[in-house]
Chains A and B, each alone.
Chain A
Amino acid sequence: MKILVCLSKSPDTTSKIAFKDNNTLFEDAGVQWIINPYDEWYALVRAIELKEKDVSTTIHLITVGNADCDAIIRKALAIGGDEAIRINVQNNDSYYIAAQIAEVAKQNNYDLILTGKESIDYNTSSIGGTIAELLDMPFISLATKLVIEGSNAIVTRDIEGGEETAEVSLPLVLSCAKGMAEQRIPNMRGIMAARTKPLKVLEPAAIETFTSVVNYEVKPAKTSVKLIAADNVAELARLLHEEVKAF
């Protein structure tokens, strides 16, 4: 089986979010880049588990981004990918990113393409669905469980207030959510092996963009909390009723 795992880099959760150049660019000075957590914990680790069950499996990693991504790609290789591809371009348009990935996928006949459920910077949850559309494959979002049985996948996904399990034949695109797998720390052997694993850098295909960022705004801090004395709980109930209209 051939698996493609889509990885994006994102600022560490604890990073300060700020913008530069008239609020048109993310301020990346001093930012610690990490693998987008959902890509790492769920998509990548599940792929590795599948490979551990069936050693003939190969895992390709793909990232659309500039050379800043190389460190996180090496980390993913250390956790367990076989080889990596980086499309050397910085772009925020989801369609553009997905189409770059689809171009690579078209030449490789992957059985399974895994993404995280969303990127923690752009939060669009849209790359997986777009790839699937461009490749005319089924797509299941927010998958929490994946079992492969021959040429079929049995996938459980989150639905409002519960979960749904479905059977679908490969090839398939999945966005992965909590439940899929558990985080893994790369070990020394993995880190050594990752140094010699191939990381191919490709130039982007000519693809149009559909959207562009005009600017960013930092969310204004809350105008200080309204504190209510602990012996005046009735006041909070009144505020919830009259100001918040909660009931």
Chain B
Amino acid sequence: MSVLIFADQADGIIKKASFEALSYGNKVAALLDTTAEALVLGNVTDNVVTLGKYGISKVHTITDISLNHLDTQVYASLIAEAAGKTGATVVVFSQNQTGKAIAARVAAKLKAGLVAGACALPDVSSGFVVKKTVFSGKAYANISINTPIKVISLNPNSFPVTVAEGNAEVSVLNINIPESKVKVTNINKIVGEIPLTEADIVVSGGRGLRGPENWGMIEALAQSLHAALACSRPVADANWRPHHEHVGQTGYQIAPNLYIAIGISGAIQHLAGVNRSKVIVVINTDPEAPFFKSADYGIVGDAFVVVPKLTEEINKLIEKNSH
């Protein structure tokens, strides 16, 4: 018996969302009185021994370079086989883009019940019940998994990373890699920006900013906070900002730890994309803007005054703390 956590990587680096999944899997293993083991596919530059920090006793690796590209058929077959070899009764993914591509496939292969979008540890007091977000973050469902093997895909930014001392044992898995039917022909990465779906902090602007020429102050705030940029749909539609920054029902759905909404009214279709953020800050001139109802902190005020001032105050504090 074990809990097997799939540690997803990009460009040889284990993703932050995976550290959450590892920490989560470690806690699940503790609940079940068993060990947490990890699986890493492809060639990573990280030293996987250090995954011991997250409570992982053993890291299984298949280092073939071809695995640096995701092919759901190949991945599912390897992960399912690894789950069999390690006697995993629970397999954990992060519900990031990779998790969305493979968790269901692995679950189907293992004839295992899946909870995708989990946001809390399972309740194992009677059975195995996992809480997940439903209705775009407006509600939760408690789902009972009724199969011997369980698959959980954990929402990003919904479980804290816990770090302790320790090294993991590394074991190279000997599994035949099936031939891939998917030939990657091109990869286009946006350079020099923090990817929106991975970001811890997101600074977002709406129509209240009046035009693309006013985004300098938004970028400055984002830079101080190491945040990714986002925008509302009309802003992307008007080409004030690129489409890959558009969040909401029709854009990206994100769940950062902190979402700062500037000059955005908080329409329900916008909220559908950002509701799962842990903390929401709203800056808007209109005290009646619906966004304030979903916010944790708010300033009723003019963004053109508040935002530069906020950046200045944040920079001051950062400066002060570095001494």
Contacts and interface: CB of A to CB of B under 8 A. Distances in A.
- Main SS at interface, chain B: mixed
Interface stretch (B40-48, B143-151, B162-170): B143-151
Contacts of A134: 108
A230 B299 contact: yes
Interface in A208-247: 209-219, 221-222, 225-230, 233-234, 236-241, 244, 246-247
Contact of A216 (B141, B272, B310): B141
- Decide if the interface of chain A is mainly helix, strand, loop or mixed: mixed
A196 interface: no
B296 A13 contact: no
B181 A138 contact: yes
B282 interface: yes
Nearest to B116: A124
B210 interface: no
A130 B258 contact: no
A169 interface: yes
Interface bin, chain A: 35 or more
* Interface size, B (range): 35 or more
A210 B138 contact: no
Contact of A14 (B226, B268, B300): B268
Interface stretch (B25-33, B54-62, B82-90, B287-295): B287-295
**A132, A137, A159, A168, most chain B CB atoms within 10 A:** A159
A127 interface: yes
A162 B117 CA distance: 22
Contacts of B195: 160-162
Given A213-B142, A247-B314, A129 B72 contact: yes
A236 B281 contact: yes
A94 interface: yes
Given A121-B134, A213-B141, A221-B293, A126 B113 contact: no
A11 B251 CA distance: 19
Interface stretch (A52-60, A82-90, A139-147): A139-147
A117 B104 CA distance: 13
Contacts of B301: 230
A213 B139 CA distance: 13
Contacts of A138: 71-73, 181-182
Given A162-B190, A211-B115, A225-B282, A219 B147 contact: no
Given A123-B136, A154-B185, 18 more contacts: A124-B114, A126-B100, A129-B72, A129-B76, A129-B102, A137-B73, A142-B100, A209-B146, A211-B144, A211-B145, A216-B139, A218-B138, A230-B301, A230-B306, A240-B281, A240-B297, A240-B314, A241-B321
A229 B224 CA distance: 22
B249 A160 contact: no
B176 to A, nearest CB: 17
Given A37-B250, A124-B104, A214-B129, A95 B297 contact: no
A211 B113 CA distance: 6
13 contacts: A13-B136, A98-B104, A123-B117, A125-B116, A141-B72, A141-B97, A166-B182, A167-B182, A215-B141, A219-B140, A225-B296, A227-B300, A237-B317
B100 A141 contact: yes
A195 to B, nearest CB: 30
Given A212-B144, A233-B313, A164 B297 contact: no
Interface of A: 11, 13-14, 17, 19, 37, 41, 93-95, 98, 117-118, 120-130, 132-134, 136-142, 154, 158-169, 175, 178-179, 209-219, 221-222, 225-230, 233-234, 236-241, 244, 246-247
A14 B271 CA distance: 11
B225 interface: yes
B5 interface: no
Interface string B194-229: 110110010000000000000000000000111000
A191 to B, nearest CB: 24
A125 B70 CA distance: 17
The 7 A-B residue pairs whose C-beta atoms are closest, nearest first, are: A230-B301, A161-B195, A210-B113, A126-B104, A237-B313, A162-B189, A129-B104
A246 B257 contact: yes
Nearest to A161: B195
Among B101, B114, B135, B138, chain A packs the most CB atoms within 10 A around the CB of: B135
Contacts of A165: 184-188
A222 B296 contact: yes
B124 interface: no
Contacts of B184: 164-166
Contact of B103 (A129, A167, A175): A129
Contacts of A130: 104-105, 107-108
A13 B249 contact: yes
Contact of B317 (A94, A118, A211, A247): A247
Contacts of A14: 268
